[in-house]
Amino acid sequence: MCATDKSTVRRQAPSKPLLTREQITDRVDKGETLVIIHNKIYNLTKWIKYHPGGDLPIKHLTGKDATDAFLAFHPLWVIDKKLPHFHIADVHPDSRRTTKISVAYRKLETQLQAEGWYNTNYWFFAREVLKFLCMWAGMVYLAVWGPKHWLSYTVSALLGASLWHQAAFVAHDAGHSGISHDAKIDTTFGVCLGNFLGGLSLGWWKHNHNVHHIVTNDPEHDPDIQHVPFFAVSARFLNNLYSSYYNRVMEFDAAARFFIPVQHYLYYIVLCFGRFNLYVLSWQHLLSSRQVPLRALEITGLCTFWVWYLAMLSQLPSWGWVAFYVALSHMATMFLHLQITLSHFGMGTENPPGEEEFAAMGLRTTMDIECPRWMDWFHGGLQYQVEHHLFPRIPRHNLRKLQPIIKQFAKDHGLPFHSYGFIRSNGLVLDALKDVADQIANVLRVDPKTVHMH
């Protein structure tokens, strides 16, 4: 009996030290990367540069309780197989604080896992891929072998725009590991769509988008709302904010003084040129970023895209038709940029005091777009951004059914749930842009030197 007891004692893992929140903050201030998950403290200082989702999401959660965000972005096996290697301490019982919202969110996440909400309908995605192949074939056929007629070129260009529009939705699903739920498989699949078919880097998108989900609508940290000099969704941009994503000051320069006071008039026009900017950002990321997991494959994909796309353009009868084709095919993708910005541009950009719950942030900063079921193909899941922000790995085809559950969750905890029709949501965004434009225009009239403040 005694021998058994001693053996059991020897097999038990040694207890971890206890750290208060103050001690955690002190170690973070000295340069350690510590995050809290289920009241366990993990030291990610040496590993952060290898994180598949990029280093910035972890940096934004350093010293904080990252449990909810971790559960949203990672399958459960990561807790069992990966995290134990980094476990250095536990949070002192006197420093443990979990809000009712977080408790309810974690309970709901466990329930959704158990009920199969994360299960993927692979036939749904097979149909999507078949649709893309048909679009691509029609696009190339009409441009190269179709009748030498303006209608052929117009339809071909619009098929190309539709291809890029629709493929972006599935690349988005893949970037969140929302298809196979295996990050390597989904990322490779997403590169095939985004890079080879669309000419845009999935790696750049993931690097950008993961940060967006952690610090949604924060003017200093969320790259999805950092569009100075063309757009400012907060008057705070007037003060030359420093972007933690781009590692530079967002100067409110002469161009910003020209565009932003009239941004609500230029909104749709600027969106027409959004894709050209994404080409530049993609190449910048692949050529200059230190952390690009599939750099060689991604660069191969972008080069392949430009080979087949330019080869197709070379078959058009004149430079005039080339210009027409490129302009139409790219400007018609503005609907994708519209859908992306509708979800957040009209929502709050304030920074609540303390540690805001992950679910509360998602509900505060995001809106759904109401649409009939037969229009789901057009929105590609982006009409359910509230549900997606709370549970980003749930497959897109389950989000419509999930919406009533999230509405009830918000109601139960006194949280807002924003959902508007397509026309109304456009109006809200335009109103928000006009409100900021008017604020900034008034300040510039009274004191133009304000833009030089930091």
One domain for residues 163 and 42: no
Strands in 30-78 per DSSP E: 34-37, 40-43
Q: Are residues 123 and 82 in the same domain?
A: no
| Number of domains the chain contains | 2
With H, G, I as helix, E, B as strand and everything else as coil, classify residue 249: strand
Domain end (from 67, 97, 127): 97
Which residue from 391, 446, 438, 434 is spatially nearest to 108, judged by alpha carbons? Answer: 391
Same domain as 81, residue 121: no
| 6 within domain boundaries | no
- pLDDT computed for residue 12 by the predictor: 52
- 148 to each of 151, 156, 317, how far by Cα in Å? 9, 12, 8
Distance CA 335, CA 198 (A): 15
User: What was the pLDDT predicted at 291?
Assistant: 84
What whole-number distance in Å separates Cα of residue 119 and Cα of residue 114? Answer: 10
CATH number at residue 77: 3.10.120.10
Q: Evaluate whether residue 379 is within a structural domain.
A: yes
CB 161 within 8 A of CB 155: no
Determine the Cα–Cα distance for residues 399 and 299; give it in Å rounded to an integer. 33
Within this chain, do residues 396 and 337 fall inside the same structural domain, yes or no?
yes
Tell me which residues of the chain have a pLDDT lower than 50.
Answer: 1-10, 452-454
Domain end position, chosen among 81, 97, 113: 97
Query: Does some domain include residue 2?
Result: no
Residue 355: per-residue pLDDT: 86
Query: Would you state the pLDDT for residue 13?
Result: 58
- Structural domain harbouring 427: 99-454
Tokens of 252: 């409110």
pTM of the model: 0.92
Statement to judge: residues 73 and 184 lie in one domain: no
Q: Give the residues across from 19 on adjacent strands.
A: 91
75 and 146 in a common domain? no
pLDDT computed for residue 5 by the predictor? 47
- Picking from 41, 64, 97, the residue at the C-terminal end of a domain is 97
Q: Considering the domain boundaries, does residue 342 fall inside one?
A: yes
